[in-house]
A and B are shown apart, each in its own frame.
Chain A
Amino acid sequence: MEKVQKKEKTLFQESWRRFKQNRLAMVGLGFLGLLTMISITTTIIDVVTDNRVYDTYVISQNLVMRLKGPSAEHIFGLDEFGRDIFLRMLWGTRYSLFLGAIGILASTIVGGTLGAIAGFYGNAIDNIVMRFMDILLAIPSILLAIAIVAALGPGLVNILIAIAISYIPTFARVVRAKVMSIKDQEFIEAARAVGASDARIIFKYIIPNSLAPIIVQATLGVAGAILSIAGLSFLGLGIQPPMPEWGAMLSNARTYIRDAWHITVIPGLGIMLTILSLNLVGDGLRDALDPRLKN
């Protein structure tokens, strides 16, 4: 009675197989992989050389060479203080990527938990949590971030807090909607019928099934967060010079845009490509994790 059984695959393998077929998403993933490698390498170099490379090549100024265009020696040219833009781009990668990722991770955990509780228990709890989220959502996230940074003062940690808080409502909403749709599925009822507790149902049944939209939302969220960080830096509220953060580089460069196009275009391009990659990967993940949305 048994016929040829299809090759057994876990859901992860199957999703990966579908993801691989999406070329654009793979390109995006490749680019993000490259950025991650760069971030890790630069961090290792700093640790090993005790910031010597960073101090000599990335932040030390050389005003004689300022605003030099790209050449064989400095392929992206030099900035308004005569620093090598290529190296600054490399060292700047980690700020955008890590801050974005950590900020979103924090808001995913906080927002996700709030959303899961609201969605699972419903009624009054749902009302209280979600109305609070509505209030947060009513304030434009960049304004909220500006307000938080303005109150706490600029600095890496404060930026992280600002980013994390401003993205909490988005995740709370996504998770709540997903939890509510899963909560009414029959397999939850089946778990209740064998006597499973609320905690078990949440952790073993609901969370594993809501991961897909959370992952997708988080990927897209990182893109937004990077933009916010760049935006804050651009406004002078983010990472402070001389740290080579891309948004700050863009901000400082805008004065010289008529004289030296390269010092604005390159950080701008860097931000754009990163965001684009994240969005491509996010879309790819959505199609791969939930094939029903496609077609």
Chain B
Amino acid sequence: MAELLEVRDLFIRYETVDGVVEAVNGISLKLDKGSTLGLVGETGAGKTTLAKGIMRLVPNPPGKITKGEIIFNGKDILKLSEADMRKVRGKEISMIFQDPMTSLNPVMTVGEQIAEVISIHEKVSSKGAMEKAKEMLEMVGIPAERAEEYPHQFSGGMKQRVIIAIALACNPSLLIADEPTTALDVTIQAQVLDMMKKLKDKLNTSMILITHDLGVVTQTCDYVAIMYAGEIVEYGSLRDVFKNPQHPYTNGLFGSIPSLAEDVDRLKPIKGLMPDPTNLPKGCKFNPRCEYAEEICRCQSPETTEVKGIHVVKCFKAQGLV
């Protein structure tokens, strides 16, 4: 499969009054055309910052991409002018945000909102754009007549469908979905995920799905990257990571969610808290919470090493050094 996106050694930081937040610390990843990558991590892991970095939407100030390359379709988008970048956004890469309630403009009909994106990026008449908008609505399972309605007339699940329609309107080659179903109820989540998967296959769109829900990842993703404190600590195919987790943090995440199949009296949580991003620990960033941590983990940062094939991990224990 052809490569669509490659992120190389990306660093993003925010300079705030409380200090420098090191949000993304040397992330590298690759994504093939048509495949889906799940980006998993907890609050403050840097998932959303990474996504915004790829869209070049990191607010500056206080945010800044300090190092790295983002190669999309063979060109480094960090080197594009802002005008060229605007042509990429929405047309080639689009993004879905978490909260369907605030992502739509309340004073425009949903049809107009979809048509707007189309007319920005494609040379069509306003009538043609509206027609395409209605097609998009049908595609996400909303009757075309409802194009005339305003967002407040839609339920949460329906709004999220409209947002997906907007994101896919220009047939982008990459869709970044930031917790697209977190605000939805579980039965609605199932509907939306199901639809996203079908559309993605139909349009051959690549997707980066940001979530904290390992269950959602299982259902939609081909590859998984586990993020912790701005780093990818483990990466591999869905099966690699879920069936053979190597990093203690990945294991900890699995131990933290109650299983539906097994009965356990107590969960096995990861001890401690996410580190303060303005004051990250020395060495392996997970070491203060890691039950296996030894001296080397406290002073040296582990390299990313291969487990098997594409499955990689960033941990001294997995390397056999601890």
Contacts and interface: CB of A to CB of B under 8 A. Distances in A.
> In the complex, is A directly touching B at CB under 8 Å?
yes
Interface in A3-18: 3-4, 6, 18
Interface string B250-284: 00000000000000000000011101100100000
Contact of B17 (A1, A3, A6, A21): A21
Nearest to B288: A3
Contact of B272 (A1, A6, A18, A21): A1
A1 B17 CA distance: 27
Nearest to A5: B276
A49 B125 CA distance: 84
Contacts of A18: 17
Contacts of A6: 276
A282 B279 CA distance: 34
B276 A4 contact: yes
A13 to B, nearest CB: 14
> DSSP class of A's interface residues: helix, strand, loop or mixed?
loop
A3 B271 contact: no
Interface string B269-310: 001110110010000000010000000000000000000000
A99 B16 CA distance: 41
Contacts of B17: 18, 21
Nearest to B278: A6
Interface residues of B, number: 8
Contacts, number: 12
- Among A3, A4, A6, A21, the most chain B Cβ lie within 10 Å of the Cβ of A3
> DSSP class of B's interface residues: helix, strand, loop or mixed?
loop
A21 B16 CA distance: 13
Interface string B1-41: 00000000000000001000000000000000000000000
B271 A4 contact: no
Contacts of A1: 271-272
Interface residues of A, number: 6
Contacts of A4: 276, 279
B64 to A, nearest CB: 16
A4 B275 CA distance: 9
Contacts of A3: 272-273, 275-276, 288
Nearest to A291: B17
Interface string A1-38: 10110100000000000100100000000000000000
B44 to A, nearest CB: 14
A14 to B, nearest CB: 11
Interface in A210-254: none
B57 to A, nearest CB: 15
A3 B273 CA distance: 8
A51 B273 CA distance: 67
Contacts of B279: 4
A7 to B, nearest CB: 11
Interface in B302-320: none
Contacts of B271: 1
A3 B285 CA distance: 13
A109 to B, nearest CB: 35
A18 B273 CA distance: 27
Nearest to B275: A3
A4 B288 CA distance: 11
Nearest to B273: A3
A4 B271 CA distance: 15
Contacts of B272: 1, 3
A21 B17 CA distance: 10
A72 to B, nearest CB: 46
Contacts of A21: 17
A276 B116 CA distance: 43
Interface in B136-184: none
A21 B18 CA distance: 12
B264 to A, nearest CB: 22
A270 B273 CA distance: 55
Nearest to A6: B276
- Among A6, A18, A21, the most chain B Cβ lie within 10 Å of the Cβ of A6
Given A1-B271, A1-B272, A6-B276, 9 more contacts: A3-B272, A3-B273, A3-B275, A3-B276, A3-B288, A4-B276, A4-B279, A18-B17, A21-B17
Q: Which 5 A-B pairs have the closest CB atoms?
A: A1-B272, A1-B271, A3-B288, A4-B279, A3-B273
Interface of A: 1, 3-4, 6, 18, 21
5 contacts: A1-B271, A3-B273, A4-B276, A18-B17, A21-B17
